[in-house]
């Protein structure tokens, strides 16, 4: 089940040592016909020995109007750590 995390928030998830944490970052422009982009990554819980930062870059391309073809890129950084 997906968990929505907003900027600055943190969550604790219960995952088995053989499980996987799946990350999804989404960006959407705010106009009448919004374009959007997304990026995903997976992290195996077994590889988490220390705190790990995972960056995802999300590109949104304008596909209509006079700015068609212009792009914007957002960088999302997730900090993942084991809770003992």
Residue 57 — φ and ψ, nearest 5°? -100, 130
User: Among residues of the chain, what percentage have pLDDT more than 90?
Assistant: 69
pLDDT at 75: 97
Please, what is the average pLDDT of the chain? 92
CA angle 38, 69, 27 (to 5 degrees): 20
Q: Is the pLDDT of residue 84 over 80?
A: no
Tens of pLDDT, residues 54-81: 999 999 999 888 889 999 999 999 999 9
pTM of structure: 0.83
C-alpha–C-alpha distance, residues 56 and 41, integer Å? 8
Residue 7 is classified by DSSP as T
At 42, the pLDDT band (50, 70, 90 cuts) reads: very high
């Amino acid at each position: 089940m997906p968990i929505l995390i907003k900027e600055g928030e943190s969550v604790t998830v219960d995952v088995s040592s053989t499980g996987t944490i799946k990350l999804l970052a989404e960006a959407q422009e705010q106009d009448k016909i919004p374009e959007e982009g997304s990026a995903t990554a997976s992290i195996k819980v077994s590889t988490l020995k220390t705190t790990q930062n995972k960056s995802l870059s999300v590109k949104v391309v304008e596909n209509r109007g006079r700015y068609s073809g212009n792009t914007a890129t957002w960088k999302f950084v997730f900090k993942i750590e084991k809770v003992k």
